[in-house]
């Protein structure tokens, strides 16, 4: 079953100890879409400016991503982000964020998108996430992501959103920030009190935790990697693999969810191997299958 994603499509400039790139294809919805496209059909809602390179849109189209919902704002400039990572690549240092066309974005959902059964509200202003949610009709599963900026500055809108979604993706520092708890189990309890039935706490190279309000838990270590060039987009690639697998199987049972967590981990591991979405864009389905099998071998009793 197909997926709808709303989030950012951006031009990213990135520096890591392993090199740098200028104005490459980026954004939360971009990484999510490319990653999920290996599993199921993806419909993207976002906005770009007139300066957005056609070849970047082509890359998404080549992955089969539907761009009917990608608005092109005449005269506008595309969202830009510049960041730097040190050797410990768990945290990005933002050099600048230029919202540009996202400043006054009002998401337009094409009619045929409105019945998409799986919905991912990638990291954008929670008011925009809420606006999109209003326009979709009886989805089977709604997931969202957020970030420290919205937790701090749009707490009310974010909490309203969390009362309306099924699954919340957040990283460990966001879980601690939103809850005021250092311990992740205590942080998770607080997040459940805000509404979601399920959460996934992403912990960078310490792996991911899937938890349910009923006390269910699946703890998955990260895939061990000798080469990590650029962690940008890892979280959205994780969400893309996770949601993509659920969409493909249309199964939300415990076993399917565990496999989805592993597919999320696998897609994130490919993402970080090269700058931006470069590695994701050259992936073959057999690469994914092989890494899934390797991962199982390295983690299962």
Should residue 193 be labelled a site residue for a second copy when binding is judged by CB under 8 A? no
Q: Are 109 and 70 in contact (CB under 8 A)?
A: no
DSSP assignment of 47-95 equals EEETTS-HHHHHHHHHTT-EEEEEEEETT---EEEEEE--SSTTS-EEE
Residues in contact with 35: Cβ distance below 8 Å, sequence separation at least 6, in sequence order: 236, 237, 238, 239, 240, 241, 244, 267, 271, 280
Nearer to a second copy, 106 or 227 (CB): 227
Report the interhelical angle of 28-36 vs 234-249 (nearest 10°): 40
H helix or E strand, kind and range, residue 169: strand 167-171
Instruction: Tell me, by CB under 8 A, how many residues bind a second copy.
Output: 31
Should residue 249 be labelled a site residue for a second copy when binding is judged by CB under 8 A? no
Q: How far is the CB of 148 from a second copy (least distance, A)?
A: 18
Q: Which range in 21-29, 47-55, 102-110, 215-223 contacts a second copy by CB under 8 A? A: 215-223
Residues in contact with 223: Cβ distance below 8 Å, sequence separation at least 6, in sequence order: 265, 266, 268, 269, 291, 294, 295, 298
Nearer to a second copy, 23 or 218 (CB): 218
Query: What number of H helices and E strands is found in the chain?
Result: 11, 13
Should residue 180 be labelled a site residue for a second copy when binding is judged by CB under 8 A? no
Should residue 203 be labelled a site residue for a second copy when binding is judged by CB under 8 A? yes
Q: Which of 91, 95, 137, 217 binds a second copy (CB under 8 A)?
A: 217
Q: How far is the CB of 184 from a second copy (least distance, A)?
A: 7
Q: Which of 13, 212, 219, 249 binds a second copy (CB under 8 A)?
A: 219
Q: Which of 50, 95, 137, 224 binds a second copy (CB under 8 A)?
A: 224
Nearer to a second copy, 4 or 222 (CB): 222
Cα separation of 222 and 207, whole Å? 4
Cα separation of 199 and 208, whole Å? 10
Cα separation of 276 and 230, whole Å? 7
Q: How far is the CB of 86 from a second copy (least distance, A)?
A: 10
Residues from 260 through 279 that contact a second copy (CB under 8 A): 262
Q: Which of 55, 74, 75, 88 binds a second copy (CB under 8 A)?
A: 88
Q: How far is the CB of 146 from a second copy (least distance, A)?
A: 22
The residue ranges that bind a second copy (CB under 8 A) are: 87-88, 182-186, 203, 205-207, 209, 217-222, 224-226, 228, 255, 258-259, 262, 296, 298-301
């Amino acid at each position: 079953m197909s997926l709808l994603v709303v989030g950012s499509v951006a031009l990213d400039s990135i520096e890591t100890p392993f090199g740098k790139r200028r104005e490459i294809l980026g954004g939360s919805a971009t990484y999510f879409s490319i990653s999920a496209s290996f599993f199921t059909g993806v419909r993207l809602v976002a906005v770009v400016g007139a300066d957005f390179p056609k070849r970047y849109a082509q890359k998404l189209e080549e992955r089969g991503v539907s761009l009917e919902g990608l608005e092109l704002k005449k005269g506008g400039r595309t969202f830009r982000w510049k960041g730097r990572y040190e050797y410990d690549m768990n945290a990005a240092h933002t050099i600048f964020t230029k919202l540009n066309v996202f400043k006054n974005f009002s998401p337009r959902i094409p009619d045929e998108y409105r019945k998409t059964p799986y919905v991912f509200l990638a990291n954008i202003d929670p008011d925009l996430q809420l606006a999109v949610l209003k326009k979709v009709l009886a989805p089977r599963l709604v997931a969202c992501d957020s970030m420290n900026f919205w937790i701090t500055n749009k707490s009310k809108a974010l909490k309203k959103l969390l009362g309306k979604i099924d699954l919340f993706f957040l990283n460990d520092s966001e879980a601690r920030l939103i809850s005021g708890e250092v311990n992740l189990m205590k942080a998770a309890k607080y997040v459940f009190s805000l509404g979601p039935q399920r959460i996934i706490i992403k912990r960078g190279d310490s792996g991911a935790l899937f938890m349910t309000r009923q006390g269910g838990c699946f703890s998955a270590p990260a895939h061990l990697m000798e080469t990590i060039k650029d962690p940008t987009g890892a979280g959205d690639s994780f969400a893309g693999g996770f949601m993509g697998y659920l969409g493909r199987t249309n199964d939300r049972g415990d076993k399917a969810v565990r496999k989805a967590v592993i597919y999320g981990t696998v897609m994130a591991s490919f993402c970080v191997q090269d700058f931006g979405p470069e590695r994701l864009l050259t992936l073959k389905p057999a690469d994914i299958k092989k890494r899934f099998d390797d991962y199982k071998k390295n983690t299962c009793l």
